[in-house]
């Protein structure tokens, strides 16, 4: 812990200088994510200086060891820094250039500084909880009001990346080259097999055989990789779009305001996996029964309108029939996504692995909560009704 704090203090010293905070005092407090974060140790920072307003900051210090880093070449912390320092600047420029209404502009945390030095990565942002924002409770399921606002935010985010490529294709190509994504199926095969075993064990008896065959088929035939490969539309998607990565608050007019965080897996790909992951990670059987088709239709309608504001014809980028085909083709992987991620998403906070303990794949093989079989069996019944399982 002492080494981590010392590393952070060095970055904060530079930030204080840049912000003209002389004779500053720094208070650093660890933040427990309660099982919502496994890549970083989190800190709340208070920076004070005579005659200056108190600066509330939020810091992420990398806690991924060599073992997990060796499994994938995805430079997560470099990607997040690039998002805040380059991609976001371009998005702001495009919103201003095309006079996007304030109500449709996306809100992000302000970036203050950090380092991408290997094994010593630090990212410092403004502390949004101080402004009244808070994360969605990952142990609860969202309703349509919340989901529709989140999906609209996602659609506008995706549209911004399309506008970026159209406005400056050469610069966009350079960014995309850095945002490489490598899902290490082979090196993670043992861990994924354990996840499948956990999911099958939790499944209702009458569906166990079907679920096991379905999940093993996706893993053994590498079908799961199709979920990550670009399909008909290719843009920058979030890669980890779930309620835990969305901060929310209700303003004085009763309107829900959202801020998307954790941009470590921004990558070039199809937009549908973002939608599927959000649906699987935060909804229950009742929500999907009532809103499934509305959910996917709502995304495309907002996406189409967002593109129009940038002077882009959605039919030239991603025709509705092509989008519908991708949803149909990729939705089956939602059950596999659920088997691999719901044990972690629904883990009891008191039993969640701590980043400061040194996360590896074995420590993520945790005891599942009572909520996991409820959520997973809801998915199974959905997939049976849809004729997928």
Q: Please report the pLDDT score of residue 110 as a whole number.
A: 96
∠ at Cα 121 (119, 123), nearest 5°? 165
Residues of the chain with pLDDT under 50: none
Q: Please report the pLDDT score of residue 345 as a whole number.
A: 92
CA dihedral 140, 144, 150, 151 (to 10 degrees): 130
Q: Please report the pLDDT score of residue 386 as a whole number.
A: 95
* Token pair 């400061």 in the structure block, residue: 356
Q: Please report the pLDDT score of residue 368 as a whole number.
A: 84
SS (H, E, C) 215-254: HHHHHHCCHHHHHCCCCCCCEEECCCCCHHHEEEEECCCC
CA dihedral 132, 136, 140, 145 (to 10 degrees): 90
At residue 12, φ and ψ (nearest 5 deg) are -65, -30
In angstroms, the CA 212 to CA 197 distance is 8
Decide if 123 contacts 81 (C-beta within 8 A): yes
In angstroms, the CA 154 to CA 145 distance is 15
List, in sequence order, every residue forming a beta bridge with 143; answer none if it has no partner: none
Domain count, the chain: 1
Q: Please report the pLDDT score of residue 24 as a whole number.
A: 78
Decide if 224 contacts 185 (C-beta within 8 A): yes
Q: Please report the pLDDT score of residue 63 as a whole number.
A: 78
* Tally of CB atoms within 10 A around 296: 21
Q: Which long-range contacts (CB under 8 A, 24 or more apart) does 380-387 make?
A: 380/203, 380/204, 380/207, 380/211, 380/335, 381/207, 381/285, 382/285, 382/288, 382/289, 383/332, 383/334, 383/335, 384/207, 384/210, 386/331
Q: Please report the pLDDT score of residue 167 as a whole number.
A: 98
DSSP string, 266-327: -EEE-SHHHHHHHHHHH--HHHHHHHHHHHHHHHHHHHHHHHHHTT--HHHH--HHHHHHHH
Q: Please report the pLDDT score of residue 343 as a whole number.
A: 92
List, in sequence order, every residue forming a beta bridge with 26; answer none if it has no partner: 47
In angstroms, the CA 40 to CA 125 distance is 14
Q: Please report the pLDDT score of residue 34 as a whole number.
A: 64
Q: 356 lies in which domain range?
A: 2-385
**E strands in the chain:** 25-31, 40-48, 55-62, 111-115, 122-126, 134-135, 235-237, 246-250, 256-260, 267-269
∠ at Cα 331 (336, 212), nearest 5°? 30
Q: Please report the pLDDT score of residue 355 as a whole number.
A: 53
pTM exceeds 0.85, yes or no: yes
């Amino acid at each position: 812990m002492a080494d981590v704090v010392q590393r952070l203090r060095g970055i904060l010293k530079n930030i204080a200088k840049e912000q003209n905070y002389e004779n500053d005092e720094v208070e650093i407090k660890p933040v427990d994510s309660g099982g919502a974060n496994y890549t970083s140790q989190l800190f709340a920072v208070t920076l004070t200086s005579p005659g200056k307003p108190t600066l509330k900051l939020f810091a992420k210090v990398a806690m991924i060891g060599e073992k997990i880093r060796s499994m994938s070449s995805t430079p997560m912390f470099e990607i997040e820094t690039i998002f805040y320092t380059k991609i976001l600047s371009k998005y702001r420029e495009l919103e201003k250039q095309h006079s996007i209404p304030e109500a449709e502009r996306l809100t992000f945390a302000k970036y203050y500084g950090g380092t991408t030095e290997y094994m010593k990565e630090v990212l410092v942002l403004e502390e949004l909880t101080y402004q009244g924002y808070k994360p969605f409770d990952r142990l609860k399921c969202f309703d349509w009001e919340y989901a529709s606002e989140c999906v609209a935010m996602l659609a506008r985010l995706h549209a911004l990346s399309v506008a970026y490529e159209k406005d400056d294709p050469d610069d966009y190509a350079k960014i995309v080259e850095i945002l490489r994504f490598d899902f290490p199926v082979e090196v993670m095969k043992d861990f994924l097999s354990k996840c499948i075993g956990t999911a099958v064990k939790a499944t209702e008896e009458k569906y166990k055989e079907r679920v096991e065959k379905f999940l093993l088929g996706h893993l053994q035939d590498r079908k799961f990789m199709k979920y990550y490969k670009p399909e008909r539309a290719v843009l920058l998607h979030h890669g980890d779009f779930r309620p835990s990565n969305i901060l929310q608050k209700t303003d004085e007019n009763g309107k829900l305001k959202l801020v998307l965080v954790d941009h470590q897996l921004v990558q070039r790909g199809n937009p549908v996996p973002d939608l599927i992951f959000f649906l699987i990670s935060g909804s229950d059987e009742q929500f999907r029964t009532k809103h499934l088709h509305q959910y996917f239709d709502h995304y495309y309608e907002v996406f189409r309108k967002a593109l129009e504001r940038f002077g882009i014809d959605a039919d030239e980028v991603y025709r509705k029939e092509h989008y519908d085909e991708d949803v149909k083709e990729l939705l089956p992987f939602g059950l596999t996504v659920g088997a691999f991620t719901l044990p972690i998403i629904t883990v009891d906070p008191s039993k969640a692995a701590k980043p400061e303990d040194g996360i590896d794949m074995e420590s993520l093989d945790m005891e599942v909560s009572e909520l996991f079989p409820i959520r997973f069996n809801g998915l199974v019944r959905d997939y049976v009704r849809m004729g997928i399982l």
